[in-house]
A and B are shown apart, each in its own frame.
Chain A
Amino acid sequence: ETGVTQTPRHLVMGMTNKKSLKCEQHLGHNAMYWYKQSAKKPLELMFVYNFKEQTENNSVPSRFSPECPNSSHLFLHLHTLQPEDSALYLCASSQNPGGTDTQYFGPGTRLTVL
């Protein structure tokens, strides 16, 4: 099993839909992250979880709702999104939080909001 997996790989949703992105890490790490990657922009950190507790919310709109039931799983619940939310959503994990440890990325979910 690869280190960090994400499902689905592609998602098309309308602005009134509710969907969820799932991330699972098999590395025994304690920290998990959600990033948004848009064209021509740097990777934008959205949320950080350390030992399943949220430690960072980078001013993300409430239409994005994270959930971390345990250290290995991370969800991103989506509702009433906007077309500008279309992007690649990447999950990552690291042994410890704080940015000093290497982060390992999942393959991402390509989201299109119609």
Chain B
Amino acid sequence: QKEVEQNSGPLSVPEGAIASLNCTYSDRGSQSFFWYRQYSGKSPELIMSIYSNGDKEDGRFTAQLNKASQYVSLLIRDSQPSDSATYLCAVHQTGANNLFFGTGTRLTVIP
């Protein structure tokens, strides 16, 4: 079983719509969760981190965490073409010395 799973996409949304990116993880004891954005040919950059159940909002981005369902999501409101990128979900498992990454979901925002 993969530690972190994401739908690889591609996910296409029209400009101005809400993009919803989903991630599930296998370790029930995981405590730290991160969303990274990676533009083609570039390195990952942090978008959001979330540690508690519920929603966390930062501008157009909202991270949602449900530990009971082992599910973390990222919502992007008013999607812009500049949001087109691959979004990586990363999870810190209990006792591990590192993050586990998903394969990423490629998002395309259509003008």
Contact = CB atoms under 8 A, between A and B. Distances in A.
Contacts of B77: none
B42 A107 contact: yes
Contact of A41 (B45, B90, B96, B103): B103
A56 B44 contact: no
Contacts of A107: 42-43
Interface of A: 33, 40-43, 45, 48, 55-56, 58, 90, 97-100, 102-108
30 contacts: A41-B103, A42-B4, A42-B100, A42-B101, A43-B88, A43-B101, A45-B98, A45-B99, A55-B97, A56-B97, A58-B98, A90-B43, A90-B44, A97-B97, A98-B92, A98-B96, A98-B97, A98-B98, A99-B32, A99-B92, A99-B93, A100-B32, A100-B92, A103-B46, A103-B99, A104-B46, A105-B43, A105-B44, A105-B45, A107-B42
Interface of B: 2, 4, 8, 31-32, 34, 36, 42-46, 49, 88, 90, 92-93, 96-104
